[in-house]
A and B are shown apart, each in its own frame.
Chain A
């Protein structure tokens, strides 16, 4: 069966520090991968998606970047965090018409 792992679950980082959130998928090959951000229990904002290794599409220009170094690995990064980057970050895999499977999320607090 397919599983998705996302870590860490919680993270507190100072302003200006770098960020690296990792997401890996097991049990499937060449998955479509997504990074979302969610503010205060509301809707999901798509940040990046990838349909293959090295292929990254950015939906919202901001202080974040994404990379896909391996088929089932998706990384969300920042060189210098801002206070406004505090949020709940979710990784997902799937194909639109069939539904997404989400990771358990990372609660990021920038202080």
Chain B
């Protein structure tokens, strides 16, 4: 059973369009993170959200943590080809040493 479900699995859009990807679970997480990964490289941490309902912005990227801390969304405004990559969400089940739980990712392709 996959604890974190990401949707959609694949997304191909034109440059300038807006998009939202989702990360859902039936479990509560103490925090949730988003990573972006480019081919042949390791994932890079974009943001960590901790409080239910929290919204964080990183330039054109807006991250939201659900009120119940079971889900999260990533919204990209005016997507650019440089946004292309695999977006992974990961949840921390506690603040200790328990490893993160990763979703399977959303592969985004932004076409110029």
Q: Interface of A with B (CB < 8 Å)?
A: 6, 32, 34, 41-44, 46, 49, 51, 59, 90, 92, 95-105, 107
Contact = CB atoms under 8 A, between A and B. Distances in A.
A44 B4 CA distance: 12
Question: Residue among A101, A102, A107 with the most chain B CB within 10 A?
Answer: A102
Nearest to B2: A43
Interface stretch (B41-49, B55-63, B64-72, B73-81): B41-49
Among A97, A98, A100, A107, max chain B CB count under 10 A is at A97
Contacts of A100: 43, 45, 90, 100
Interface residues of B, number: 29
Interface of B: 30-31, 33, 39-45, 48, 50, 86, 88, 90, 92-100, 102-105, 107
